[in-house]
Amino acid sequence: DVVEISGHGLGLRQVALNQLRGGFSDELRDLRAQLIRFASLLELELDFGEEDVEFADRTGLTRLLGEVQSVVSGLLGSFELGNVIKNGITTVIAGRPNAGKSTLLNALLREERAIVSAIPGTTRDFIEDEVSIDGLRFRFVDTAGLRDNPADEVEAIGVQRTRQRIGQAALLLYLFDLTAMTPAEVQADLAEFRAAHPRLPVLLVGNKQDAATPAQLAAFDQLNAQLIAAGQRQGLEKLQAALLTQVRGAGLATSGTATIVTNVRHARALEAASQHLAAVQEGLATGRGTELLAADLRHALGSLGEITGDISTDDLLTSIFTQFCIGK
């Protein structure tokens, strides 16, 4: 399965699962057909091995292999993102106590799911729910506030579980209070998150914009944070746009159409195809014999055929018979 995502018109609302039957699969199928042509020429060389002739243009084959590898690598790189999109994007809302995490959750969900209180440490356990933003499912998780000295054992357990839940997130929304923190404190928190989870995307969000002074707002200019007032539901549209940008930045194209692999079997076939293509590339570079090149190329074609659905033992024979006047 893949997800095809259009960057125009309805945009991400057009997300759909399919079996690589869209335009991108047509490109992959076309590249495979070109590889079949080269493979048939290599097979022909084997038939005329005693005459020491080369029918397949090695330079052209090298160039085509690079093009196919680029497409395959892009699809493989999309597999992790594809699983995130297919299963929903787990977005943990984390930050220090009383930053407004529960208020933000309620604002995003447009309902009062979490208890909101001015007392730090009110949230002791996870509260989570899903909302669709431009066709993508985000699962927002409200967590206990992070601080070094919890008020009691229950809050301490909540803080520990928050840190564990951050490690399971696809995206971290770090929320801080513009009126209560300094840029240095925010940067220290971010450094801690990134040290513990170097691959986790982090979206920085400053809350209580309506209560912050001009000087406080100016102090955070360099941090490139999204500024909101969750209690008044101000800035939520820009925040949602930033969330989508984070997802796109993880692998979706910002224009045109991106194909996202979500099927494990397809991912394994792509991995196999990439390995066999690399073997052909290495063979061409080192002058490996035609028989080995042809064998690796046959394996690559078989793996690509599992993706496009074009699996046939007659592909090479058909190509040879249509290109050359050779009797069966």
Q: In whole angstroms, how far apart are CA 286 and each of 66, 99, 108, 160, 323?
A: 16, 61, 58, 54, 28
Residue 19 has pLDDT above 50, yes or no: no
Q: What is the b/e burial string over 59-75, where b = at least 16 CB atoms within 10 angstroms of the residue's CB?
A: eebeebbeebbebbebb
Range among 81-85, 145-149, 239-243 with highest mean pLDDT value: 239-243
Tokens representing 248 are 């796109």
For the chain, which residues make up each domain, given as ranges? 2-78+258-323, 83-233
78 phi/psi in degrees, rounded to 5 = -85, -10
Output the pLDDT for position 74.
82
137-171 pLDDT, tens digit per residue, is 898 998 877 766 655 677 677 777 888 888 888 88
**Cα 125 to Cα 147: distance, rounded to the nearest angstrom:** 15
Residue 265 has pLDDT above 50, yes or no: yes
Strand residue runs (E) in the chain: 2-6, 16-18, 89-94, 127-133, 136-142, 171-177, 202-207, 226-227, 257-261
Output the pLDDT for position 180.
93
Average pLDDT over residues 251-272: 67
Residue 4 has pLDDT above 80, yes or no: no
Output the pLDDT for position 147.
65
Q: In whole angstroms, how far apart are CA 303 and each of 6, 298, 306?
A: 27, 9, 5
Q: What is the dihedral of CA 288, 291, 292, 297, to 10 degrees?
A: 110
Residue 116 has pLDDT above 50, yes or no: no
Output the pLDDT for position 328.
45
The CATH-assigned architecture of domain 83-233 is 3-Layer(aba) Sandwich (3.40)
32, 305 Cβ separation under 8 angstroms: yes
**Higher confidence at residue 238 or residue 16?**
238
Burial of 163 (0-12, 13-18, 19+ CB in 10 A): middle
Q: In whole angstroms, how far apart are CA 196 and each of 168, 174, 209?
A: 12, 14, 29
Output the pLDDT for position 20.
40
Range among 2-6, 24-28, 297-301 with highest mean pLDDT value: 297-301
Tell me the three state secondary structure of residue 305. Answer: helix
Q: Helix 315-323 to helix 290-308 angle, to the nearest 10 degrees? A: 110
Q: What mean pLDDT is reported for the chain?
A: 77
Tokens representing 303 are 């793996």
**Higher confidence at residue 187 or residue 327?**
187
Residue 324 has pLDDT above 80, yes or no: no
**Cα 131 to Cα 165: distance, rounded to the nearest angstrom:** 19
Output the CA torsion sign for 36, 38, 43, 48.
Answer: positive
30-72 pLDDT, tens digit per residue, is 888 888 888 887 887 777 655 665 666 788 888 988 988 988 8
CA 51 to chain centre: 50
244-256 pLDDT, tens digit per residue, is 888 766 544 333 3
Nearest to 79 by CA among 245, 251, 248, 247: 251
The CATH-assigned architecture of domain 2-78+258-323 is Up-down Bundle (1.20)
Beta bridge partners of 21: none
